[in-house]
Amino acid sequence: MARLGVLALQGGYDAHARTLRGLGHTVDEVRTADDLARVDGLVLPGGESTTHLILIDRFALEAPLRAFVASGKPVLATCCGLILSAAEVVSPAQRSFGWVDVTVARNAWGRQVHSFEDTADPESPVGPVSMLFIRAPRITRVGPAVEVRATYRGEPVLVRQGNVTAGAFHPELTADARVHEAVFGRG
Ligand code: GLN
């Protein structure tokens, strides 16, 4: 059984914790560098990326997060987490950590309805997983080191570079645990 962490500064961390516990993992809420030092994998949840950047600074978490990613432990970043992990953020431009060589445009999926649910294209490597998009970022460029794990209508929506898997949608808000299982396995 792995001890996993969910970054619990703001946003939708609780649903991730529930999904991970359902897979048999032990889950800690992570708010400090000490919390981070105790876990073997990490979720960067959905939320508001601008707020996350402020809180990460306030709690001095940038260096510990960078060290965690560099350690090679598995990380799942969703929505706001994808925005934080991207190499480049546009509309509007924003600081990001550059763990996954993609460009993302904020709030670019489902502009009219803000939120919708569907399934990934059947040929997606992770399978036709259930996806909920909430004011989701759009991946507009994928670098050569990035593997596309799921597409929606031909566009990348779940990508992986090394130990960081990042998605535009919310797998934790559906009953489908396949994305979490693909990243962290079962406990
Ligand atoms: N729109 C949010 C942002 O730009 C992300 C939305 C989400 O995480 N569901 O940070």
How many domains does the structure of the chain reveal?
Answer: 1
Sign of the CA dihedral running 71, 27, 12, 30: negative
The residue among 77, 81, 102, 104 whose CA lies nearest residue 91 is: 104
* CA 81 to centroid of ligand 1, rounded, Å: 8
**Which ligand 1 atom minimizes the distance to the CA of 48?**
10
Q: What is the CATH number of the domain that holds 69?
A: 3.40.50.880
Contact status, residue 31 vs residue 69, Cβ threshold 8 Å: no
Cα separation, 94 vs 90, whole angstroms:
7
Cα 107 to ligand 1 centroid, rounded to whole Å: 7
Query: Which tokens go with 96?
Result: 């990001």
- Tell me the one-letter amino acid at 70: A
> What is the predicted pLDDT for the residue at 111?
58
User: Which residue bears the tokens 């990490």?
Assistant: 42
- Pocket, ligand 1, Cβ cutoff 6 A: 46-49, 79-80, 83, 106-107, 134-135
- Contact indicator for 19, 171 with CB cutoff of 8 Å: yes
**CA-to-CA separations, 129 to 11, 95, 106, in angstroms, rounded:** 22, 30, 22
Instruction: Supply the pLDDT for residue 141.
Output: 98
Q: At 77, list the tokens.
A: 């970043």
Transcribe 74-105 into DSSP letters. -EEEETHHHHHHEEEEETTT-----SEEEEEE
- pLDDT of res. 2: 86
pLDDT at 180 over 90: yes
Question: Which ligand 1 atom sits closest to the C-alpha of 51?
Answer: 10
Mutate to test the pocket of ligand 1, among 6, 90, 97, 107 (most ligand atoms within 8 A of CB): 107
Give residue 98's pLDDT. 98
Query: 46 pLDDT exceeds 70?
Result: yes
Burial pattern 22-52, b for ≥16 Cβ within 10 A else e, equals ebebebbebeeeebbeebebbbbbbbebeeb
- For residue 130, the enclosing domain spans 3-184
- Mean pLDDT of all residues belonging to the chain: 95
pLDDT at 113 (0 to 100): 54
